[in-house]
């Protein structure tokens, strides 16, 4: 079945319907089962990765995904090594890249930058994180992981903990999950890092989705199906003192894990700083490295779908 996503952009999670996401997850499942069947799918195709902000997983997983599909990759991870340093606009850079590549992945510190890029070209554009706004391909990774662990999405009580204000993965995750039935959220953060008003009002309240905003992780742990931990987003702070005061607000350790259900999923988009103690890695409920691997497979599915070569 074609996914119907050929030629489309992925700028924010709602760009794809629930059914379209399901097609992508099924495709990702098939890639995980038999990756060799997809090894030539993108032969002769070129992916451009334009990273105006640091990245490890997102850029490498996109590049690995394209290479594992038999395609090739160009791009930069250091904008000062490109004509950006000469003052070229994002639109001009993207129009130029579209002369060479078949699709582009863009990470940028400014909210909405990937949308500006998409308006400048017919080439499919994927948002790989725009400032403190959205990160839809991390959400594909997160949903694929939950779906594979639980056999489906919906009917889950999800705790989201840490920097809910600047954490773009959190905004995209809540938006995407809000479309499944029976969801409930526990939003765990310090006062200063609470979820933005637009997510609270436009997504949660408008959707009639039950949620609690709490300070203490321990208070909600026992009822959670999944705990999504996040890093305090240092690069979005205006002053260092606030960051230092807030950075270690939550540390998940073996002792806190004793409060959780025996099958609670621990997720994290990574990179981790201090918010999950290394001792938790050995707990079978810790899924974050598995999640990173799923990220490559779901990006393989996404690339094939946008290029229309999934069949």
127 lies in the site for ligand NCD, by CB under 6 A: no
Stretch that binds ligand NCD, among 78-86, 216-224, 237-245, 267-275 (CB under 6 A): 267-275
What is the closest distance, in whole angstroms, from the C-beta atom of residue 77 to ligand NCD in the complex?
A: 13
Closest distance to ligand NCD from the beta carbon of 235 (Å): 8
Q: Give the interface size with ligand NCD as a residue count (CB under 6 A).
A: 11
CB burial of residue 43 (10 Å; 0-12, 13-18, 19+): exposed
Q: How far is the CB of 295 from ligand NCD (least distance, A)?
A: 7
178 forms part of the interface with ligand NCD (CB under 6 A): no
Question: Helix or strand or coil: residue 46?
Answer: strand
Q: How far is the CB of 186 from ligand NCD (least distance, A)?
A: 20
Nearest Cα to 4, choosing from 12, 140, 22?
A: 22
User: Are 153 and 132 a contacting pair, CB within 8 Å?
Assistant: no
User: Would you count residue 133 as binding ligand NCD (CB under 6 A)?
Assistant: no
CB 161 within 8 A of CB 1: no
Whichever of 97 and 128 has its CB closer to ligand NCD, that residue is: 128
DSSP structure class, residue 201: I
Considering the rule CB under 6 A, would residue 114 count as an interface residue with ligand NCD?
no
* Helix/strand number for the chain, H first, E second: 11, 9
DSSP H or E segment with residue 134: none
Output the DSSP codes for 50-63.
EESS--SHHHHHHH
CB of 270 to ligand NCD, least distance (A): 5
d(CA 185, CA 268): 16
The answer to the question of residue 171 lying near ligand NCD (CB under 6 A) is no
Least separation in angstroms between CB 141 and ligand NCD: 8
Q: Which residues pair with 142 in a beta bridge?
A: none
What is the crossing angle of helices 136-150 and 168-177, to 10°?
50
Q: Is 132 in the site for ligand NCD (CB under 6 A)?
A: no
Phi-psi region of 70 (alpha: psi -120 to 50; beta: other; left: phi over 0): left
Q: How far apart are CA 84 and CA 80, in angstroms?
A: 6
Residue with Cβ nearer ligand NCD (64 or 98): 64
Report 212-231 residues binding ligand NCD (CB under 6 A).
231
129 interacts with ligand NCD by CB under 6 A: yes
Closest CA to 161 of 132, 130, 137, 193: 193
Part in contact with ligand NCD (CB under 6 A); list of ranges 63-71, 175-183, 213-221, 263-271: 263-271
Q: Please, what is the minimum distance in Å from the beta carbon of residue 95 to ligand NCD?
A: 26
Q: Is residue 256 exposed (0-12), middle (13-18) or buried (19+ Cβ within 10 Å)?
A: middle
Part of the chain binding ligand NCD (CB under 6 A), chosen from 79-87, 240-248, 264-272, 299-307: 264-272
Binding test (CB under 6 A) with ligand NCD, winner from 9, 58, 189, 291: 58
131 binds ligand NCD (CB under 6 A): no
| Interaction of residue 169 with ligand NCD, rule CB under 6 A | yes
Binding region for ligand NCD (CB under 6 A): 57-58, 129, 135, 138, 168-169, 231, 269-271
């Amino acid at each position: 079945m074609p996914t119907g996503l050929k030629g489309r952009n992925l700028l924010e999670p709602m760009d794809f319907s629930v059914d379209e996401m399901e097609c992508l997850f099924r495709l990702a499942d098939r890639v995980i089962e038999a990756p060799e069947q997809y090894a030539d799918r993108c032969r002769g195709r070129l992916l451009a990765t334009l990273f105006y902000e640091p990245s490890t997983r997102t850029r490498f997983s996109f590049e690995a995904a394209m290479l594992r599909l038999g395609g090739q990759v160009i791009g930069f991870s250091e904008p000062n090594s490109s004509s950006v340093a000469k003052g070229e606009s994002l639109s001009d850079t993207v129009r130029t890249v579209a002369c060479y590549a078949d699709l582009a992945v863009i990470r940028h510190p400014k909210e909405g930058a990937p949308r500006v890029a998409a308006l400048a070209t017919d080439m499919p554009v994927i948002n790989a994180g725009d400032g403190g706004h959205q990160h839809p391909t991390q959400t594909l990774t997160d949903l694929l992981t939950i779906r594979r662990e639980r056999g489906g999405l919906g009917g889950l009580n999800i705790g989201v903990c840490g920097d809910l204000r600047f954490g773009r993965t959190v905004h995209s995750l809540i938006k995407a999950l809000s479309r499944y039935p029976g969801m409930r959220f526990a939003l765990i953060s310090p006062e200063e890092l609470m979820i933005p008003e637009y997510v609270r009002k436009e997504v949660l309240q408008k959707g009639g989705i039950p949620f609690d905003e709490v300070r203490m992780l321990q208070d909600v742990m026992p009822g959670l199906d999944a705990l999504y931990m996040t890093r305090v987003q240092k690069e979005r702070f205006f002053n260092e003192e606030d960051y230092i005061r807030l950075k270690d607000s939550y540390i998940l350790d073996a002792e806190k894990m004793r409060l959780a259900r025996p099958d609670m999923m621990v997720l994290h988009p990574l990179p981790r700083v201090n918010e999950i103690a290394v001792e938790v890695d050995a707990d079978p409920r810790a899924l974050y490295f598995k999640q990173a691997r799923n990220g490559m497979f779901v990006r393989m599915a996404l690339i094939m779908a946008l290029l229309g070569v999934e069949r």
